[in-house]
Amino acid sequence: MERVWAPWRMEYINSTAGKSNNRCFLCVDGRDDEKALIVGRKNKAFVIMNRFPYTNGHVMVVPVRHTGLIEELTDEESLDMMALVKIMVAIFKEEFNVDGLNIGINVGRAAGAGLEEHTHIHIVPRWFGDTNFMPVVGETRVISEHIEASYKKLKRRFIEKVL
C-alpha cells in the first residue's frame, strides 16, 4: 500500500469547522501577508491560498469586511472581488498552464459552504488527468506541489500583473 503524507491536514482536523480559536480564518489582520498566504490585495478584497486545497494552487477571493451574505456586499466589494478573480485567471493560465478553472461561490451549508459566515469565491485550477482513483477509492487527494512553492509563484506573478 502506498502512503501519501499530508501533515498540514492535521491543523484542519483539529480545528472546528475550519475555525481556529473561534475566530474566522478569513479575517486576517494584514500585518503578515506572507504568513497568512495572502497572494494580493485590492482595496476591499484580497486573494488568499486555501490551506486545505482541492488541487495545487487553490485560492479564495475574499472581501475584507466579514459578511456571510453575498447580497450585502457593496458594489465596491463586488467589483474588487471580480477584478481579483480576473487577475488570478490570467495568472493561472500563464504561470500554471491550466487546462481549466473551477470558479464558484457556495452559499449556505446545503450548497457546500464550509464557512458560511464569510463570503468567498473559490478558484480551483484544473488539468486534464488531475483526478484519478485516489479521491474515490482512497478518500485522499494528492497535491503535486507544496503550498509554499505555489504561493511564491502566485505572489510573484500577482506583483508583476498589478505593478
| Cell digits of residue 7 | 501533515
- Which residue is catalytic, options 58, 66, 118, 120? 120
On average, the pLDDT of the chain sits at 84
CA distances from 27 to 5, 24, 118, 125, 126 (A): 29, 5, 8, 24, 27
Q: Distance of CA 133 to CAs 7, 25, 45, 140, 143, Å?
A: 21, 31, 36, 9, 14
Contact between 40 and 155 under an 8 Å Cβ cutoff? The reply is yes
First to last CA, the chain: 48
Q: In terms of pTM, does the model score above 0.85? A: no
Q: Could you tell me the domains of the chain?
A: 9-162 (3.30.428.10)
- For the record, the C-alpha cell of 111 comes out as 450548497
**pLDDT tens digit sequence for 101-136:** 999 999 988 888 888 899 999 999 998 877 644 444
pLDDT band for position 8 (cuts 50, 70, 90): low
Judge whether 66 counts as a catalytic residue: no
Q: At what angle do helices 147-162 and 75-95 cross, to 10 degrees?
A: 110
Residues in contact with 140: Cβ distance below 8 Å, sequence separation at least 6, in sequence order? 4, 6, 134
Say if residue 107 is exposed, middle or buried (CB neighbours under 10 Å; 0-12, 13-18, 19+): middle
